[in-house]
Copies of this chain bind each other. A is one copy, B any other.
Amino acid sequence: MEEKKTVEQPTSTEEKIKEAARRVFTRKGYAATRTRDIAEESGHNLALLNYYFRSKEKLFDIIMIENMELFIKDVLGIINDATTTLEQKIDLLIAHYIDMLLQNPNLPIFILNAVNTNPNELINKVAKTAQLEQTHLAKQWQEIAASRALQINPLHIFLNALSMTVFPFVASPILKLRVGVTDDAFTELMQERKKLIPAWIKSMLQQAG
């Protein structure tokens, strides 16, 4: 009904609830999260959640959109930089994502989960997430696809980069509990992959040409 014209202090109650919601939602997903979990995690009364965000769903939407934005933040700068080569962009993108995901390790499972259960409605909400088609990276990509008459669908290479970078984070509980990889070993592994994945990807581009 009425709009809140709250002045946003950096650590306002509203902000604290939102951050609590981000932690709980990102860890447990929408359905498994109780509004009371969020209230408790935030250290505030349950009613404040509805006071500031109207409903669980509206709060979730905010978190989801912000999480999505986390995924493309800083990336547009890299892929639209006209001064870097395609190979440099690959290096930068992989390194950026590994660093970002090491700090937000359950972001991937959150997003994949949301995308797999909400499909349509969700994608519409985040439709604004920039057109990747006309970026500098896309142009360079098409150039290389044209110059070396690629034997394979370039989507394969893109998929491989995404897979090798992101999948380890969603599979990490398996690595940690079944394969005996410690937290530190996992971080070390991912640091190594910052150099390895670009090398593998470039090698695939060679082979495919």
Contact = CB atoms under 8 A, between A and B. Distances in A.
A29 B117 contact: yes
A177 B120 contact: yes
A193 interface: yes
B192 A153 contact: yes
A74 B27 CA distance: 33
A interface residue count range (under 10 / 10 to 19 / 20 to 34 / 35 or more): 35 or more
A103 interface: no
Contact of A156 (B109, B117, B189): B189
Contacts of A112: 109, 112, 170-171
Contact of A113 (B109, B120, B162, B204): B109
A175 B115 CA distance: 11
A134 interface: no
Given A29-B31, A163-B163, A196-B152, A113 B115 contact: no
A200 B201 CA distance: 10
A32 B192 contact: no
A116 interface: yes
Contact of A117 (B28, B193, B200): B28
- Most chain B CB inside 10 Å of its own CB: which residue of A28, A152, A173: A173
Contact of A123 (B29, B106, B178): B178
Contacts of A106: 116
Contact of A193 (B156, B162, B196, B207): B156
Given A113-B113, A207-B203, A171 B162 contact: yes
A174 interface: yes
A179 B152 contact: no
Contacts of A156: 189, 192-193, 196
A52 interface: no
Interface in A165-208: 166-168, 170-171, 173-175, 177-179, 181, 189, 192-193, 196, 199-200, 203-204, 207
Contacts of A167: 159, 162-163, 166-167
